[in-house]
Amino acid sequence: LTPGLPSLDEIYRRPYEEAQANGDVPSIPVQPISYGDAFHFMSQLSEHSVPDGWEGELNITYKILQSSDNTNVTFIEVNNVQNISTINNVIAVIYGTIEPDHMVILGNHRDAWTFGAVDPNSGTAVLMEIARLLSDLRDKGWRPGRTLVLCSWDAEEFSLIGSTEWVEDIQHLLG
């Protein structure tokens, strides 16, 4: 609701209805489902091949219409709630000694769709290990030539919000 600007408390937020009227938010409901459910539902479709580029990774022939002799009916109830929530990005900076105004940025998101999901964990593990090693080096007096920025972004699963908001906030430094 703050396109091009960070969602800080002092920034004006457009009303949701205005963003919706301008087509800046999705106009159809979206519900993520599991691979198994997607396979089940997509395999029920048997007529009219999909256009080029619409094929996914399921091991089926992609169709877009259920045949008239298939009487299976599925109802999905979607109960999405539109709300504004606080997210928390975690940013660590080690300022460089030679070119402090040039940054090396390393980041990863840490949120996942479900509890125990492994999506962000390998990147988060690497990021945390790099942070630990850099801390050890700093304890020995080391400083990098360029500024190092380590980023752990929140809300990636909801349209890359954490990293987008962070970039909108520091875009004047990125050139």
- Which of the residues are catalytic? 156
Residue 15 tokens, joined: 């009303």
**Structure-token match 């089926």, residue found:** 60
- Name which of 166, 5, 7, 4 is nearest 92 in CA terms: 166
84 in Cβ contact with 138 (< 8 Å)? no
CA distance 159 to 153: 12
Helix (H, G, I), strand (E, B) or coil at 139: helix
